[in-house]
């Protein structure tokens, strides 16, 4: 970033003027023959306002106002997060405020609302934020007036979610807005105010941001957060919330549960949460690693878990001999315990565990997604881990720099949540008191995530902000040849990707390294070349 330190502006301050949006507009494309509209890498859709009004009316009629508000807020939050990631790619070298301003500009570009900043204060490194904005021409107000008429309370639910999701990505910690004036209630314009969530209980519509541990809620309550030893298994990504909902339903039963997922995603802590929510919560919770078990160890674990729950971790590593013994113990039914298991691989395909045992212990499988598939949870986890390490070390941790925040969001986390926790722990020890955590505290020089890339005019991928053709031999001749052929940028990108994949013999991971991309980034672009 070219701008450093806190930003404060209010009223008619020239600093609050929104920058030109041409850099955002040029990435909005219509593909009529393919039936697609794209904004950067994201597929978009045009929706009739009348359809929005109908959806709103049907939602309110089906689930009530409170639940409808929560659903639409969540929908907007995801949209804001996606645009936050897009803005980071497009304006990665701009000032903090220009990057932040992409949120209001994209919201307007997408036809939702015209935004006028009234006051903006932020210090990313110290986590301070206050934003106040006026909204004109709110599409959501028009949809609500068409479906429900005049309102007694503010109605811009989706747009509040959007503002919160975008600013959360920008700040690297949860930010929540509230609507203090709404045109649907008679105000001239809508007006919103945003602040960090902090340790406060979020408003009901932002319940998915809750990070407080829940010990034993009622049988119908979804687990918004689940306690663990080195940090909570928290998150609001769709995949993780789906796992939470399944575990909340099965916890009160005696059905065996199989937790599937990569190492470090929190399977053991989720299993503990199932135990804590079960009728056996007062009994022992015994964990054994299947790969280290012998017959005596298995017998001892079965005895210690009586009256409670037994978690067989890494079931895929259980020896064939012990698989037979475990199958016999399960079928005998004389062990008073709840069966829980975890695995790093798909047991139905691996052939590592007997089918009969998979059928019994895998009666209720639950997939826990890796952290790279739920990057929107990183700000939540970062805030929680910073608080934990600050308390553990008895020192003040003020936050992270923009470079560190970008690196954390870009990293693929082969070690998942456990790796993120460890990186924050290391940084908390290395950083000086009162100083923000920087990229170097989190990553050593040879493991830092690759710089985010952009497509240069010559059709090659380069770090954002790099001088065009700085170190490319013969670049002038290459540019001239490409311009003479009138090759479009999209065609050049596709040709480059296909060439890298061909050179790597079809190995996407190797091709990604050639291009300086992560494998998921390349996989997404490679799918587009066939789409």
Helix/strand/coil for 375: helix
Is 0.85 topped by the overall pTM? no
Would you state the pLDDT for residue 467? 44
Distance CA 182, CA 372 (A): 37
Sheet holding 338-343, edge to edge: 285-289, 309-313, 338-343, 257-260, 365-367
Per-residue CA distances from 51 to 46, 48, 58, 212 (Å): 11, 5, 11, 37
Would you state the pLDDT for residue 121? 94
Do 7-208 and 373-442 share a fold? no
Would you state the pLDDT for residue 288? 95
The DSSP call for residue 184 is G
Could you read off the pLDDT of 36-52 as tens digits, one per residue?
788 876 788 989 999 99
**Whether the Cβ atoms of residue 182 and residue 155 lie closer than 8 Å to each other:** yes
Protein fold of 210-369: Rossmann fold (3.40.50)
Phi-psi region of 40 (alpha: psi -120 to 50; beta: other; left: phi over 0): left
| Segment holding 175, helix H or strand E | strand 175-181
Could you read off the pLDDT of 112-159 as tens digits, one per residue?
999 999 999 998 888 899 999 999 999 999 999 988 889 999 999 999
Domain 7-208 coded CATH 3.40.718.10? no
Domain 373-442: give its CATH code.
Answer: 1.10.8.60
DSSP percent split of the chain into helix, strand, coil, nearest 5 = 50, 15, 35
Helix then strand count (H, E) for the chain reads: 19, 17
Q: Where are the domains of the chain?
A: 7-208, 210-369, 373-442, 453-530
Give pLDDT < 50 ranges for the chain. 1-3, 212-232, 451, 453-461, 465-472
């Amino acid at each position: 970033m070219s701008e450093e330190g806190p930003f404060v502006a209010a009223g008619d301050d020239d600093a609050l003027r929104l920058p030109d949006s041409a850099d955002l507009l040029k990435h909005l494309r219509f593909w009529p023959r393919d039936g697609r509209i794209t904004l950067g890498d994201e597929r978009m859709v045009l929706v009739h306002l009348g359809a929005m009004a109908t959806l709103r009316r049907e939602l309110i009629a089906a689930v009530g106002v409170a639940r409808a508000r929560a659903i639409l807020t969540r929908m907007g939050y995801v949209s804001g997060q996606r645009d936050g990631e897009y803005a980071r790619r497009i304006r990665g070298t701009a000032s903090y405020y220009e990057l932040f301003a992409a949120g209001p500009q994209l919201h307007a570009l997408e036809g939702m609302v015209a935004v006028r900043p009234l006051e903006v204060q932020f210090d990313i490194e110290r986590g301070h934020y206050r934003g106040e904005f006026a909204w004109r021409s709110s599409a959501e107000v028009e949809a609500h007036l068409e479906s429900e008429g005049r309102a007694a309370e503010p109605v811009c639910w989706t747009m509040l979610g959007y503002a919160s999701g975008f600013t959360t990505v920008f700040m690297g910690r949860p930010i929540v807005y509230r609507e203090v004036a709404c045109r649907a209630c008679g105000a001239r314009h809508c007006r919103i105010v945003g602040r960090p969530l902090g340790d406060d209980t979020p408003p009901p519509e932002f319940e998915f941001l809750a990070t407080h541990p829940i010990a034993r809620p009622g049988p119908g309550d979804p687990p918004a957060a689940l306690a663990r030893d080195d940090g909570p298994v928290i998150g609001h990504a769709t995949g993780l919330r789906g796992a939470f909902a399944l575990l909340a339903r099965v916890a009160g039963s005696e059905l065996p549960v199989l937790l599937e997922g990569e190492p470090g995603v929190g399977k053991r802590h989720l299993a503990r949460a199932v135990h804590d929510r079960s009728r056996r919560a007062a009994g022992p919770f015994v964990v054994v690693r299947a790969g280290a078990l012998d017959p005596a160890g298995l017998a001892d674990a079965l005895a210690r878990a009586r009256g409670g729950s037994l978690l067989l971790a890494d079931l895929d590593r259980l020896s064939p001999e012990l698989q037979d013994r475990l199958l016999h113990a399960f079928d005998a039914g004389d062990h008073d315990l709840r069966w829980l298991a975890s695995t790093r691989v798909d047991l139905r395909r691996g052939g590592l565990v007997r089918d009969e045992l998979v059928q019994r212990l895998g009666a209720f499988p639950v997939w826990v997604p890796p952290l790279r598939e739920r990057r929107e949870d990183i700000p939540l986890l970062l805030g929680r881990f910073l608080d934990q390490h600050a308390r553990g070390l008895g020192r003040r941790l003020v936050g992270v720099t923009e470079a560190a925040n970008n690196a954390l969001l870009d990293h693929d986390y082969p070690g998942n949540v456990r790796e993120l926790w460890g990186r924050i722990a290391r940084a908390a020890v290395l950083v000086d008191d009162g100083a923000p955590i920087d990229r170097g505290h989190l990553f050593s020089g040879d493991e830092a995530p690759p710089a985010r890339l952009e497509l240069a005019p010559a059709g090659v991928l380069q770090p954002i902000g790099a001088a065009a053709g700085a170190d490319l031999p013969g670049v002038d001749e290459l540019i001239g040849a490409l311009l003479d052929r009138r090759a479009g940028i999209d065609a050049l990108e596709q040709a480059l990707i296909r060439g890298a994949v061909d050179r790597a013999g079809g190995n996407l991971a190797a091709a990604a390294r050639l291009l300086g991309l992560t494998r998921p980034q390349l996989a997404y672009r490679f799918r587009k070349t066939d789409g």
